[in-house]
Amino acid sequence: MAKTWKDKDISLDPLKDQTIAVIGYGIQGDAQSNNMKDSGLNIIVGLKKGGNSWKKAESDGHKVMSVSDACKKADIIHVLLPDMIQSEVYKSEIGPNLSKGKALSFSHAAAIHWKWIDAPKDIDIIMVAPKGPGSKVRETYLENFGTPSIVAVHQDFTGKAWDRTLGIAKAIGSARAGLIQTTFKEEVETDWFGEQADLCGGAASMIQASFETLVEAGYQPEIAYFEVLHELKLIVDMIQRYGINGMWRRVSETARYGGLTRGPMVITSESKDNMKKVLKMIQDGTFNKEWIDEYQKHGKDSFDKYMKETEAHQIEKVGKQMRKMMWPDSTE
């Protein structure tokens, strides 16, 4: 059974005399910085000079400085940059300003696990990974609750790495919901697998294939959209709140019987074998190498051809019309 913590188990006292530099002010950087500041911690934000986020962070009440200067001043450097630029920024601005006893902190373990960053031995290396987007991390904090996090210590040089890890998790509100201990290896491999096989890749492919099946059989695209995409959120919300069996108890008897008997016809043993192949490619570094090579060649254009194919799909064209009907003031 994994080790867990709740808010009452953790004290912020070990962080009261620490300066935490949050590097990056994207969705997670924004949320986590503001939550930690509101929890009474000493936060500075390190950003690229002249970047779009500088004024935003200042307007939110943060002391903002260059990444190099922030790293010099900080006891804990919390890196919330996009994965693919972490190595470059580390080499140029973070690494040269690391000194004995500091902590290098992340919300995703890829840079350390895959050795994109070769950190020194005389620092702590820690992770607090909220299991939700930054908008939810901030929203739930302001509701006096939180988004759960998984936490790990990769290197405990000072003997205080766990105090630092748990303190950050408490300060961003995650301990209110609950913390679960993991490892850097487990976080990376399960996170990437979930994205590829289930949450993003698997779910999107299943939705498109279901839509195509109905439309090719002569059903109206608008009706197919409602049935295979729009209503999916209702089911996912029930599964998240009540579990899979709880969902079965809350749908109609026809849906329950049909789903229980036909679901295994759609997601077959062959599907699971392919999931195992996906996982193996993550575990053995195949996907990491492919992704790094692709990004080095094409940068953010690496996924453009796939995005264009998705954008051209009929379900997207129909979906835009349907969403405009339901939410006329929304912009995409």
Listed range (59-68, 248-257, 291-300) with the worst mean pLDDT: 291-300
User: Which residue is listed with tokens 């890196």?
Assistant: 79
> For this structure, is 108 an active site residue?
yes
The answer to the question of whether 231 is labelled as a binding residue is yes
pLDDT of amino acid 63: 97
Q: Is the pLDDT of residue 328 over 90?
A: no
Over the stretch 20-65, which tens digit does the pLDDT of each residue have? 999 999 999 999 999 999 999 999 999 998 778 999 999 999 999 9
Percent of the chain with pLDDT strictly greater than 70:
100
pLDDT band at 170 (very low <50, low <70, confident <90, very high): very high
Q: Is the pLDDT of residue 301 over 90?
A: no
The answer to the question of whether 227 is labelled as a binding residue is yes
Give yes or no for a contact between 202 and 189, defined as CB atoms under 8 angstroms apart.
no
Average pLDDT on 311-325 reads 93
Beta strand 124-130 with 149-155 is antiparallel
The answer to the question of whether 25 is labelled as a binding residue is yes
Beta strand 149-155 with 63-66 is unpaired
Task: Output b/e per residue, 111-149; b: 16+ Cβ within 10 A.
Answer: bbbbebbebeeebbbbbbbbebebeebbbbbeeeebbbb
pLDDT of amino acid 299: 86
pLDDT band at 305 (very low <50, low <70, confident <90, very high): confident
pLDDT band at 68 (very low <50, low <70, confident <90, very high): very high
Q: How far apart are the first and last CA of the chain?
A: 43
pLDDT band at 126 (very low <50, low <70, confident <90, very high): very high
pLDDT of amino acid 50: 79
Average predicted confidence (pLDDT) for the chain: 96
Catalytic-role residue among 108, 154, 230, 298: 108
pLDDT of amino acid 113: 97
Query: Which residue ranges does the chain devote to CATH 3.40.50.720?
Result: 4-183
Q: Is 200 exposed, middle or buried (0-12, 13-18, 19+ CB in 10 A)?
A: exposed
SS (H, E, C) the chain: CCCEECHHHCCCHHHCCCEEEEECCCHHHHHHHHHHHHCCCEEEEEECCCCCHHHHHHHCCCEEEEHHHHHHHCCEEEECCCHHHHHHHHHHHHHHHCCCCCEEEECCCHHHHCCCCCCCCCCEEEEEEECCCHHHHHHHHHCCCCCCEEEEEEECCCCCHHHHHHHHHHHCCHHHHCEEECCHHHHHHHHHHHHHHHHCHHHHHHHHHHHHHHHHCCCCHHHHHHHHHHCHHHHHHHHHHHHHHHHHHHCCHHHHHHHHHHHHHHCCHHHHHHHHHHHHHHHCCHHHHHHHHHHHHHHHHHHHHHHHHHHHCHHHHHHHHHHHHHCCCCCC
pLDDT band at 182 (very low <50, low <70, confident <90, very high): very high
Taking the alpha carbons of 165, 67, 130, 85 in that order, is the dihedral positive or negative? negative
pLDDT of amino acid 37: 98
Q: Distance between CA 162 and CA 159 in Å, rounded?
A: 8
The answer to the question of whether 69 is labelled as a binding residue is no
| Tally of CB atoms within 10 A around 203 | 14
**Six-digit token pair at 67?**
């990444």
- Give 111's contacts (C-beta < 8 A, 6+ positions apart): 79, 83, 86, 87, 90, 117
pLDDT of amino acid 9: 96
Q: Position 279: which residue type?
A: L
Average pLDDT on 115-132 reads 97
> Would you identify the CATH topology of the domain 4-183?
Rossmann fold (3.40.50)
The answer to the question of whether 88 is labelled as a binding residue is no
Q: Is the pLDDT of residue 298 over 80?
A: yes
Q: Is the pLDDT of residue 185 over 80?
A: yes
